[in-house]
Structure 1
Amino acid sequence: MSKPVGEIAEKIGAILEGDASILVDDVTHDSRQAKQGSLFVAIRGLTMDGNRFVGDVMRRGAVGVISEIEKPSDFKGVWLRVQNARIALAKAADVVYGSPSKSLKLIGVTGTNGKTTTVYLSFALAEANGDKAAMLTTVEYRIGNETVPAVRTTPEASDTQRFLKKALEKGCKAVAMEASSQALHLHRCDELDFDAAIFTNLTRDHLDYHGTMENYFDAKKMLFDGRLGKPPDYSIINIDDEWGRKLISELSHKQNVITFGLNSATADFSAVEIRVSLFEGTAFVMKTPQGERYVKSPLIGKPHVYNILGATAAALAVGYDLDLCIKGIEKCVGAPGRFERVPHDGDFAVIVDYAHTDDALLNTLKTAKELAKGRIITVFGCGGDRDRTKRIPMGEVAGKNSDLVIITSDNPRNEDPLKIISEIEEGVISTNCPYLKIPDRREAIHTAIQKAKPNDVIIIARKGHETYQIIGNEKYHFDDREVALEALENMKERV
């Protein structure tokens, strides 16, 4: 439904120049999406200024522009001047698309690790309860069975509102989405009406962006404390995590806090009798305010117990049935590239995992060590043009928890791959673990599989679900799972 510019201007607190009665039916930050009836929001980014594209969007049929600068003297159209274009983008999109989040059971998930799997679980639990669901993740954007590859973990505010409106129109009752720290800080989640928000954990990551752990935490906290517009109806928080406990202590609306964990006697949702199998998944007894239930999941590893607890707590908070949730857990295979076993007939295991922080890698290797009867061989690298503070710690974690480490390239981007590898090497050297340096990722994976012995577990870490490798400014097709299968086939042929 179209909205008059005057109503939008009032909502975003803009100084309006032009005809307030002109109707708007779309809002975008992307000049390429501008069309007849669009309102373009000119955002000043780190490398690009949206104001440069004002002429282009008007030629495409846009009715006007939201900007932080004064209207150019030769501009023909509606001009809305604001103090903060990102905040205005979120508010304008909410108005134009009719506040779709208010008509959905919206679950947001934030934290360093576990976000994607928790969203996949939340999607599965909604569907198990008879609700058509949608989700926004690092891997994909999905409405029911319709899916497209994700552009970023959390879309820009206008893209999210447009997605929610489409989900609602297609009959969805529930949406689960990842809320990254950058997205929260950049106001991409402003004006979203969350029924439940889940905090998984907080460990070192994205310090190249946030600077300090305190700033990183504060960005995550925005999902819970009302700075997005209103706090969630329920805050679901991992009480085992030190930052989770800090979050609980700083929230004023503690009556709506629900906790989960494995190590706290006071957690609202917890688990006992945990058993993990490389071939059968994870089983445990879940303790909830509605009683105990036996849970059997195809997901492998104790970290997934946390994900299951958080998703179940959120599901019950929004009104879902516990027993139907248990059935949903049993069917949910989770997100691709999260401790994903590469299928083959050999006598050793090959696992692909997205672990991209030292804490995530530690959890992955702990799970592998619990399951392995032989050695742990770890293949991994670190991304270029990203947080360098993770490289030495990831090397240390790999060395301490592996029998052989193969350091390789990840997405080097515009950094020298050998320089990245040398920084990781510092951490591995400190552990005295045997290691190899093989910059070519394909060769590194082939080497690991060639060296495997019976009962070994090979962990290919960091890229997970990704189907590309970024070298310089170019993106090339590369899938760890495909390369592992290729190496396994080569072994068969040699035998």
Structure 2
Amino acid sequence: MRTVEVAGRGDIEVRGVQYDSRKVSAGDVFVAMRGGTTDGNEFIDAAIRKGAAAVVTDSLEKFVDLRTQQPELALALVDREANGGRRALAEISSAVFGAPEKRLKVSAVTGTNGKTTTAFLLEQMLKSVGRKCLLLGTIETHVGDVVRESEHTTPESRDVLALFAEGVRAGCTEVVMEMSSHALEQERVWGIPVDVAMFTNLTQDHLDYHGTMGKYAAAKARLFEGVGTGAPRVSVINADDAYGSTMKDAAAGVETVWTYGHRVEADFLARNVVLSALGATFDLVTPDGMREVRSPLFGWFNVDNLIAAMAAAIACGLTLDEAVRCAATIRSAPGRFEPVPNELGITVVVDYAHTDDALENVIGFARRLVGEGRVITMFGCGGDRDKTKRPKMGRVAAQGSDLVVVTSDNPRSENPMTIIEEILVGVRETEVECVVEVDRRVAIEVAIRAARAGDIVLLAGKGHEKTQTFAGGVVAFDDVAEAERVLLAIKAGVRT
């Protein structure tokens, strides 16, 4: 943190730290910074009224005004261009919460696809040998055995460190966390010393924020350089991915760099892979020898996720045999190729795939899994996000499926039909049968009722999510629950 100037009292007692004025209590430091959509400096007066004992601001104008109007208030001005607000938030939070990041071993995973699953798998491996873990991810936060829903993939540093402190109090010794490109770019993870860093892959996503694939990759690469800390001790990098070499270059200061994959030579290499409806079997070649791995996880994508987690687990101190034993009973994350049980002979699967690469992977596996049956894919694309991937997703869905149902995902502020029309540009490059149904609830029913025994229905895009976001607000919505409703109605002979 680069402090430009300080003013006011210097002998205050700090009781807490906040960046949201609504949560300020007496004695808190309020850190005000400009964000992408809001400017925290607009809420300084509200924070002071609630009892803020000190203010850190990245606005020179506000600093000068406060210094004049409230000369007794403890103030600090930080450099906005150097991301001083977020760095200040991280450093003050560390001090307030007793530096919990220094009392935990942190394993972090970044990548477009596979972050959530890889984090879930690594946590299970660590727990299998008695480690008590804190998990921070897209779907859930785990503090030991306590599970709660996550609001963000990677929260602001103040909230991350508060969770770290809770984990320490609960006896956790390990953290497994997802680090999104946004969090790395915005330095929401500033000052967190990562012990083991993992890279899964990089495909087109979030270009509405990063602008180019080069900038997107550079944001991910910061994990391997260290964000306000030294480089990680061990890096685990997907050698099969085109951006693996970029991450290896960024990991120049890392003590041990391991690669993994199944296509090119790597430190952890899957050979003789057999995929089936029962899971995956393969020979894993490692620096510690070769072992046969049997896992209930489906698909090539999960083979990669599992190898990454096994390599990271070994970096964390597990033996190869311990990792192999855990792989035999491991489970995937909710909403990741999650089957919806039924007695109709139809395979219905919910998956979070929301990029063209992820969608192509899950459809490809569904095709191999279903044999002579048909693949029916229902999906949409999120609003207020990268528009260029919409026709690409339409194309890969149509190329791999026998029937495509195009619907809404989270339209947010956009017109749902505008999004659908952009998807259809790619679909129309093929001859596949396509149904358009803007209402996702109805679209799920259309897709499932179109299936016959032996077919597979893939409900893609939202996975674990329990809501749907429109311009008018957020409504409760669960793909799994909707699929269960339709399947029960079909079994009962009812039209809903």
TM-score band, normalised by the shorter chain?
over 0.9
Q: Tell me the equivalent position of 1:359.
A: 357
* Structure 2 residue 141 is the aligned partner of structure 1 residue 141: yes
Tell me, in whole angstroms, the C-alpha distance in 2 between the residues paired with 1:126 and 1:306.
Answer: 18
1:276 Cα deviation from its structure 2 partner? 2.3
Question: C-alpha deviations, 1:96-137, integer Å up to 9, x for none?
Answer: 223222221101100000000011011111111211101111
Say which of 331, 343, 346 aligns to 2:344. Answer: 346
225-234 or 235-244, which deviates more? 225-234
Report if the CA contact (8 A) 1:115-1:200 is conserved. Answer: yes
Q: Tell me the equivalent position of 1:281.
A: 279
Tell me, in whole angstroms, the C-alpha distance in 2 between the residues paired with 1:368 and 1:414.
Answer: 32
| Residue identity opposite 2:99 in structure 1 | S
Q: Tell me the equivalent position of 1:5.
A: none
Structure 2 residue ranges without an equivalent (≥5): none
Q: Tell me the equivalent position of 1:80.
A: 76
Question: C-alpha deviations, 1:68-119, integer Å up to 9, x for none?
Answer: 1224122342111110212221222223223222221101100000000011
Report if the CA contact (8 A) 1:248-1:254 is conserved. Answer: no
Q: Give SS of 1:171's match.
A: coil
Give the superposed CA RMSD.
Answer: 1.5
Tell me, in whole angstroms, the C-alpha distance in 2 between the residues paired with 1:15 and 1:375.
Answer: 66
* Structure 2 residue 428 is the aligned partner of structure 1 residue 433: no
How many percent identity over aligned positions? 42
Tell me, in whole angstroms, the C-alpha distance in 1 between the residues paired with 2:194 and 2:249.
Answer: 21
Report if the CA contact (8 A) 1:129-1:325 is conserved. Answer: no
Q: Tell me the equivalent position of 1:104.
A: 104
| Residue identity opposite 1:442 in structure 2 | R
Q: Tell me the equivalent position of 2:490.
A: 491
Tell me, in whole angstroms, the C-alpha distance in 2 between the residues paired with 1:269 and 1:404.
Answer: 38
Question: When the two structures are aligned, how many residues end up with a matched partner?
Answer: 483
Report if the CA contact (8 A) 1:128-1:327 is conserved. Answer: no
86-95 or 307-316, which deviates more? 86-95
Tell me, in whole angstroms, the C-alpha distance in 2 between the residues paired with 1:230 and 1:27.
Answer: 25
| Residue identity opposite 1:175 in structure 2 | V
1:324 Cα deviation from its structure 2 partner? 2.5
Tell me, in whole angstroms, the C-alpha distance in 2 between the residues paired with 1:376 and 1:47.
Answer: 41
Tell me, in whole angstroms, the C-alpha distance in 2 between the residues paired with 1:54 and 1:212.
Answer: 35
Question: C-alpha deviations, 1:416-437, integer Å up to 9, x for none?
Answer: 1111111100100102111010
115-124 or 326-335, which deviates more? 326-335
Decide whether aligned partners of structure 1 residues 455 and 228 sit closer, same or farther in structure 2, where only a CA change above 3 A counts: farther
Report if the CA contact (8 A) 2:448-2:486 is conserved. Answer: yes
Q: Tell me the equivalent position of 1:7.
A: none
Q: Give SS of 2:11's match.
A: coil
Q: Tell me the equivalent position of 1:48.
A: 38
Question: C-alpha deviations, 1:40-95, integer Å up to 9, x for none?
Answer: 11021232211121122223222111101224122342111110212221222223
Tell me, in whole angstroms, the C-alpha distance in 2 between the residues paired with 1:382 and 1:376.
Answer: 19
Q: Tell me the equivalent position of 1:330.
A: 328
| Residue identity opposite 1:430 in structure 2 | E
Q: Tell me the equivalent position of 2:160.
A: 160
343-352 or 292-301, which deviates more? 292-301
Decide whether aligned partners of structure 1 residues 50 and 488 sit closer, same or farther in structure 2, where only a CA change above 3 A counts: same
1:247 Cα deviation from its structure 2 partner? 2.0
Tell me, in whole angstroms, the C-alpha distance in 1 between the residues paired with 2:133 and 2:211.
Answer: 36
41-50 or 322-331, which deviates more? 322-331
Q: Tell me the equivalent position of 1:245.
A: 245
Tell me, in whole angstroms, the C-alpha distance in 1 between the residues paired with 2:255 and 2:76.
Answer: 40
Tell me, in whole angstroms, the C-alpha distance in 1 between the residues paired with 2:22 and 2:9.
Answer: 24
Q: Tell me the equivalent position of 1:197.
A: 197
Report if the CA contact (8 A) 1:194-1:231 is conserved. Answer: yes
Tell me, in whole angstroms, the C-alpha distance in 1 between the residues paired with 2:322 and 2:26.
Answer: 46
Report if the CA contact (8 A) 2:193-2:226 is conserved. Answer: no
Question: C-alpha deviations, 1:398-457, integer Å up to 9, x for none?
Answer: 010000100001111111111111110010010211101011111111011111112111
| Residue identity opposite 2:273 in structure 1 | I
Q: Tell me the equivalent position of 2:215.
A: 215
| Residue identity opposite 2:424 in structure 1 | E
Q: Give SS of 2:484's match.
A: helix
Tell me, in whole angstroms, the C-alpha distance in 2 between the residues paired with 1:25 and 1:110.
Answer: 33
Q: Tell me the equivalent position of 1:94.
A: 94
Report if the CA contact (8 A) 1:12-1:92 is conserved. Answer: no
Structure 1 residue ranges without an equivalent (≥5): 1-10
Question: C-alpha deviations, 1:140-165, integer Å up to 9, x for none?
Answer: 11101212211111000111111111
Q: Tell me the equivalent position of 2:115.
A: 115
95-104 or 166-175, which deviates more? 95-104
Tell me, in whole angstroms, the C-alpha distance in 1 between the residues paired with 2:101 and 2:354.
Answer: 31
Q: Tell me the equivalent position of 1:173.
A: 173
| Residue identity opposite 2:54 in structure 1 | G
Decide whether aligned partners of structure 1 residues 352 and 68 sit closer, same or farther in structure 2, where only a CA change above 3 A counts: same
Runs of 4+ in structure 1 displaced over 3 angstroms?
11-14
Q: Tell me the equivalent position of 2:291.
A: 293
Question: C-alpha deviations, 1:206-241, integer Å up to 9, x for none?
Answer: 000000000000000111113432211111100111
Report if the CA contact (8 A) 2:235-2:251 is conserved. Answer: no
1:14 Cα deviation from its structure 2 partner? 5.0
Tell me, in whole angstroms, the C-alpha distance in 2 between the residues paired with 1:204 and 1:185.
Answer: 17
Tell me, in whole angstroms, the C-alpha distance in 2 between the residues paired with 1:315 and 1:36.
Answer: 43
Report if the CA contact (8 A) 1:129-1:321 is conserved. Answer: no
Report if the CA contact (8 A) 1:222-1:228 is conserved. Answer: no
Decide whether aligned partners of structure 1 residues 65 and 488 sit closer, same or farther in structure 2, where only a CA change above 3 A counts: same
Report if the CA contact (8 A) 2:144-2:172 is conserved. Answer: yes
Tell me, in whole angstroms, the C-alpha distance in 2 between the residues paired with 1:30 and 1:287.
Answer: 49
Q: Give SS of 2:69's match.
A: coil
Tell me, in whole angstroms, the C-alpha distance in 1 between the residues paired with 2:231 and 2:309.
Answer: 18
Question: C-alpha deviations, 1:289-337, integer Å up to 9, x for none?
Answer: 1222232222211101111111111111122233222333333312110
Q: Tell me the equivalent position of 2:318.
A: 320
Decide whether aligned partners of structure 1 residues 132 and 407 sit closer, same or farther in structure 2, where only a CA change above 3 A counts: same
1:250 Cα deviation from its structure 2 partner? 4.4
* Structure 2 residue 66 is the aligned partner of structure 1 residue 68: no
1:471 Cα deviation from its structure 2 partner? 1.4
Q: Give SS of 1:296's match.
A: strand
Q: Tell me the equivalent position of 1:4.
A: none
Tell me, in whole angstroms, the C-alpha distance in 2 between the residues paired with 1:330 and 1:28.
Answer: 44
Tell me, in whole angstroms, the C-alpha distance in 2 between the residues paired with 1:465 and 1:321.
Answer: 32
Q: Give SS of 2:350's match.
A: strand
Q: Tell me the equivalent position of 1:369.
A: 367
